Every structure is written in C-alpha cells, then in structure tokens.
Amino acid sequence: MARIPYRALGRPLSGKNGRFNRTPIAAPVSHAEMTIEVVEPVAEPVADATQVAPEPTPEPVAAPQWEPTWTKSQILAVAQAKNLSVTSANTKAEIVAALTAAG
C-alpha cells in the first residue's frame, strides 16, 4: 500500500517538524454559495460657486527667533533664512554678529 503524502490531504503543516495538525478541515465554499454585492457609486453634491468661501490669505512668516546658545548649524540656518551673506566657512561668532547687526 502506497503512503499518501501529508501535504496531499489539504491540511496546513504544523507541529515540531511540520507534520501534525489536528484541526478539522473546513468544507470548501462552492461558487454557488458565494454572493456578490453590487454597490452603485454615489455622486457627491457639487457646491455652487456662490457658496465657496475664499481661501484665507496666509500671514507673513516672521523671521525665526534665535539664541546665541544654539549650535552653529542652527544659527546658520536662521541667518540664511534672513538672506544674510554668511556661509558655513564663517565662524559662529561672525554669524552671531551678522544676526545681531541685522536685528
């Protein structure tokens, strides 16, 4: 008598070596039992042009506040945001002096 491989029985493998699974096998669902639900798309109402509120104007962005205790890279980013002519080649003291002079 030939042995049937365990995988041929349709059970998932489990156990120490993937050989034993004592859970019952669920009956397969036939295509006749499956139901398909048809959903019709719902159109969203379109707002009139008279009901649309105008977009608020953004407030001007103030220059970020800084402190001399920050790191050089943080102070450099603030100085470049204020369009000061400083680079990473400048020392931290020079960047702080330029920020102080700019206000």
What are the pLDDT tens digits along the chain (103 aa)?
567 666 666 555 555 555 665 666 667 667 666 677 787 877 776 655 566 677 777 776 665 688 889 999 999 999 998 889 898 999 999 999 999 998 7
> What pLDDT score was predicted for residue 21?
59
> What pLDDT score was predicted for residue 22?
63
SS (H, E, C) the chain: CCCCCHHHHCCCCCCCCCCCCCCCCCCCCCCCCCCCCCCCCCCCCCCCCCCCCCCCCCCCCCCCCCCCCCCHHHHHHHHHHCCCCCCCCCCHHHHHHHHHHHC
> What pLDDT score was predicted for residue 37?
79
